């Protein structure tokens, strides 16, 4: 029976091995919640991962690893559609049509391309990196998604998606749902443990600032205990003056469901050490079963691959229908069967 729930769609790149705490609290946790209220499609975007130089064996391993971690985090193949982007060829096919609709100037304004291409050195970036946002447009439009849960850094790509959907619909007739961004809440923003002025990311200031979910729990506990705090000793949420302690409080709050106010009351008069010791424990309790579940999926690649094959089949049923409509509207001559 077709779902009457609003549809969400999102993707994650298989570029890093382990998810970090920022990925998890900032995005993946919301994905898990949305599968209860929405018709949810989630994918590992391996085609996006090859827009920068990659190692083939690593890409393959990281694609399985990303899927295993999504399942370990609580995505349930019975409640959502989880798949690998390259298993659904319609993504590349619709991307071509969108490439032919997008303006060169419009694509040139994408700030993520500017940032990423600057890192590659002028002139070395691939055409694939340039057209990366257009592939993302295709990802979204193929599923007629109503909402796209992403971080603030993706807002411009969602705007582009809306523009291209409108343009296509205007030129060729109503074909695509125009999606709305669903910008994930700032409260879930997690900062580097060693430099709380920057977002936690895999290009962290030092490895000590980054919590990888698949790290040995002992390493994780150590990182929490050596997190940078502030010069006075009061445990108070104040992002301006006490960014280190505030970051620890928001991680603590998000992982336990306790409010910041409750935590402030609980730690009144206590030292930073007490907060860090308790948070380290909370973190270990969270990462230990996460690691175990991830490992169980990795130990049984056969089952994992079958889950992904089923996901791709479900995704393809939707994608193929949209692509056929788009091909027809554009005027491509159908092949005779």
Piece of 59-67, 134-142, 246-254, 323-331 that binds ligand TRP (CB under 6 A): 134-142
Q: How far is the CB of 136 from ligand TRP (least distance, A)?
A: 4
Q: Does 15 bind ligand TRP (CB under 6 A)?
A: no
Judged by CB under 6 A, does residue 147 bind ligand TRP?
no
Binding residue for ligand TRP (CB under 6 A) from 7, 8, 9, 294? Answer: 9
Question: With CB under 6 A, what is the number of residues at the site for ligand TRP?
Answer: 12
Distances (CA, A) of 12 to 93, 191, 281: 20, 19, 28
Residue number, nearest CB to ligand TRP: 11
By the rule CB under 6 A, 13 interacts with ligand TRP = yes
Nearer to ligand TRP, 39 or 139 (CB): 139
Q: How far apart are CA 161 and CA 51, in angstroms?
A: 19
225 catalytically annotated: no
Q: Are 8 and 147 a contacting pair, CB within 8 Å?
A: yes
Q: Among residues 189, 202, 208, 314, which one is catalytic? A: 202
Decide if residue 139 touches ligand TRP (CB under 6 A).
yes
**Which C-beta is closer to ligand TRP: that of 83 or that of 267?**
83
Q: Select which of 119, 185, 189, 199 is catalytic.
A: 199
Residues whose CB falls within 8 Å of the CB of residue 7, separated by 6 or more in sequence, listed in order: 38, 39, 40, 41, 143, 144, 145, 146, 147, 177
Beta-strand ranges (E) seen in the chain are: 7-12, 39-44, 80-84, 147-150, 180-183
Q: Spell out a b/e string for 57-86, using b for 16 or more CB atoms within 10 Å of the CB, else e.
A: eeeeebbbbbbbbbbbbebebeebbbbbbb
| Cβ proximity to ligand TRP, 45 vs 71, nearer residue | 45
Identify residues 23-42 at the interface with ligand TRP (CB under 6 A): none
Assign 112 to helix, strand or coil: helix
H-helix segments, 7-89: 21-23, 29-37, 46-49, 56-73
Nearest of 187, 175, 135, 142 to residue 157 by alpha carbon: 135
Instruction: Among 44, 97, 148, 326, indicate the residue that binds ligand TRP (CB under 6 A).
Output: 148
144 lines the binding site for ligand TRP (CB under 6 A): no
Query: Does the protein bind ligand TRP through residue 70 (CB under 6 A)?
Result: no
Nearer to ligand TRP, 139 or 215 (CB): 139
> Whole-angstrom Cα distance, residue 246 to residue 236?
7
156 belongs to the binding site for ligand TRP (CB under 6 A): no
Q: Using CB under 6 A, which of 25, 65, 68, 150 touches ligand TRP?
A: 150
Q: Is 222 a catalytic residue?
A: no
| Residue 287 is a binding residue for ligand TRP (CB under 6 A) | no
* 10 touches ligand TRP by CB under 6 A: yes
- Contact between 154 and ligand TRP per CB under 6 A: yes
Closest CA to 326 of 178, 177, 179, 176: 176
Q: Based on the shown chain and the rule CB under 6 A, indicate whether residue 134 belongs to the binding site for ligand TRP.
A: no
Q: Is 136 in the site for ligand TRP (CB under 6 A)?
A: yes
- Binder among 21, 32, 40, 45 for ligand TRP (CB under 6 A): 45
Write out the DSSP string of 123-170.
Answer: TTS-HHHHHHHHHHHHHHHHTT-SEEEE-GGGHHHHHHHHHHHHHHHH
Among 182, 199, 216, CA closest to 250? 199
CB-CB contact of 214 with 17 (8 Å): yes
Q: Which residues are catalytic?
A: 116, 199, 202
State the residues that interact with ligand TRP by CB under 6 A.
Answer: 9-11, 13, 45, 48, 136, 139-140, 148, 150, 154
């Amino acid at each position: 029976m077709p779902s009457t729930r609003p549809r969400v769609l999102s993707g994650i790149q298989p570029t890093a091995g382990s998810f970090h705490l920022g990925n998890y609290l900032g995005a993946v946790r919301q994905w898990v919640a949305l599968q209860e209220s929405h018709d949810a499609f989630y994918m590992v975007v391996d085609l996006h991962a090859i827009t920068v130089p990659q190692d083939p064996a690593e890409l393959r391993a990281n694609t399985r690893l990303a899927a295993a971690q999504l399942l370990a985090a609580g995505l349930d193949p019975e409640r959502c559609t989880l798949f690998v982007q390259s298993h659904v060829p319609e993504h590349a096919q619709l991307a071509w049509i969108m490439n032919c609709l997008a303006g060169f100037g419009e694509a040139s304004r994408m700030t993520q391309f500017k940032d990423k291409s600057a890192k590659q050195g002028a002139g070395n970036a691939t055409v694939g990196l340039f057209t990366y946002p257009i592939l993302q447009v295709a990802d979204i439009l193929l599923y007629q998604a109503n909402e796209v849960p992403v971080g603030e850094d993706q807002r411009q790509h969602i705007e582009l998606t809306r523009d291209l959907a409108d343009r296509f619909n205007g030129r060729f007739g109503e074909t695509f749902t125009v999606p709305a961004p669903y910008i994930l809440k700032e409260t879930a923003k997690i900062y580097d443990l060693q430099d709380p002025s920057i977002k936690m990311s895999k290009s962290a200031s030092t490895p000590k600032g980054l919590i990888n979910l698949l790290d040995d729990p002992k390493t994780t506990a150590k990182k929490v205990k050596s997190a940078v705090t502030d010069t006075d000793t009061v445990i108070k949420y104040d992002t301006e003056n006490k960014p280190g302690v505030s970051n620890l409080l928001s991680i603590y709050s998000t992982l336990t469901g306790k409010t910041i106010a409750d935590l402030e009351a609980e730690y009144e008069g206590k030292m930073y050490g007490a907060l860090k010791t308790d948070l380290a424990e909370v973190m270990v309790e969270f990462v230990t079963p996460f690691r175990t579940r991830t490992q169980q999926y990795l130990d049984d690649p056969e089952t994992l691959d079958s889950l992904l094959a089923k996901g791709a089949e479900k995704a393809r049923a939707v994608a193929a229908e949209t692509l056929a409509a788009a091909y027809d509207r554009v005027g491509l001559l159908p092949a005779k069967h």
